[in-house]
Amino acid sequence: MEQTAKKKIRLNKFLSECGIASRRKSEELIKDGRVSVNGKIVTDFAYEVLLESDDVRVDGEKVKPEQKIYFLLNKPKGFITSTKDEKGRNTVINLIKTNKTIFPVGRLDYDTTGVLLLTNDGDFANALTHPSKKIIREYIAGLDKELTKEHRERLLKGITLDRRKSIFKRIYFPKKKNYKIVGVEVLEGRNHFVKRMFNSLGYEVKSLERVKFGEFTVDDLPVGKSRKLSYTEIRKHL
């Protein structure tokens, strides 16, 4: 009996480990009646399944646990941060050679470069992108004109964006006396957040690179190249 119990796992965790979705999204799938176990619809995400014998399906398709895999990509311009694109444009998935089904963690704009993580681990993705985790993202922005001291102070104190107070946690200038090149640290993961913050004060962002996401940096990784991350590198975020 004890041996059998060790092989049991909660249904929402099972789906997450299969790479279907994060645990939270998996719970939605279960509550919506899209998950069956041994031919019967299960709506209780705490339901326990036997790893070796139970037949678990989502929308009729059988799922099974798969090995977790993590990639760090130095994203180039001209690639969509998505698994596919309706317009047929290149996606970041095209840059990584793997037989696993992976997805990007968060988003970078079409013309934004730098640190991008890709994985098949929904819990890991949620741990990095959920607002409660307060993960720092660091960017280097190239502006069309010098950032004034007044505007720097406003961005640090907070401006209204999407009807709520929005701030840069830190602003610095990586190139001495070049106030068009601006480094910023943010906690936000909203689409186009850095660009829209500068746009709101009359600046155009000519270039944007994410140089850090949590503890992850691309270091000497060439643009367009990727590498696998070890469990040691990612476990602190799980």
- pLDDT tens sequence across 56-92: 999 999 987 778 899 999 999 999 999 888 888 899 9
- Please tell me the distance from the alpha carbon of residue 13 to that of residue 238, in angstroms, as a whole number: 13
Q: Which of 109, 111, 121, 144 is catalytic?
A: 109
- Please tell me the distance from the alpha carbon of residue 43 to that of residue 46, in angstroms, as a whole number: 9
Q: Within 10 A of 35 (CB to CB), how many other CB atoms are there?
A: 26
All domains of the chain, ordered by start, with CATH?
2-62 (3.10.290.10), 70-130+217-237 (3.30.70.580), 136-213 (3.30.2350.10)
237 has pLDDT over 90: no
* Distance spanning both ends of the chain, measured CA to CA: 30
Percentage of the chain modeled with pLDDT above 90: 65
Q: What is the pLDDT of residues 120-135, one digit of tens each?
A: 888 788 888 888 889 9
Phi, psi of 44 (to 5 degrees): -100, 110
Give the mean model confidence (pLDDT) for residues 146-172: 96
Which pLDDT belongs to residue 3? 40
Reduce the DSSP state of residue 100 to 3 states and report it. coil
- Please tell me the distance from the alpha carbon of residue 186 to that of residue 165, in angstroms, as a whole number: 13
Q: Are the C-beta atoms of 136 and 183 separated by less than 8 Å?
A: no
Grade residue 186 by pLDDT with cuts at 50, 70 and 90: very high
Which pair of structure tokens corresponds to residue 104? Answer: 């990007």
* Residue for token pair 């610095």: 172
Handedness of CA 219, 221, 222, 223 (dihedral sign): negative
Question: Is 109 noted as a catalytic residue in this protein?
Answer: yes
Collect all residues with Cβ–Cβ distance below 8 Å to 181 and sequence separation of at least 6: 140, 141, 142, 143, 173, 174, 175
Q: Are the C-beta atoms of 108 and 211 separated by less than 8 Å?
A: no
Integer Rg of the chain from CA: 21
- Please tell me the distance from the alpha carbon of residue 92 to that of residue 206, in angstroms, as a whole number: 21
Q: Name beta bridge partners: 185.
A: 138, 170
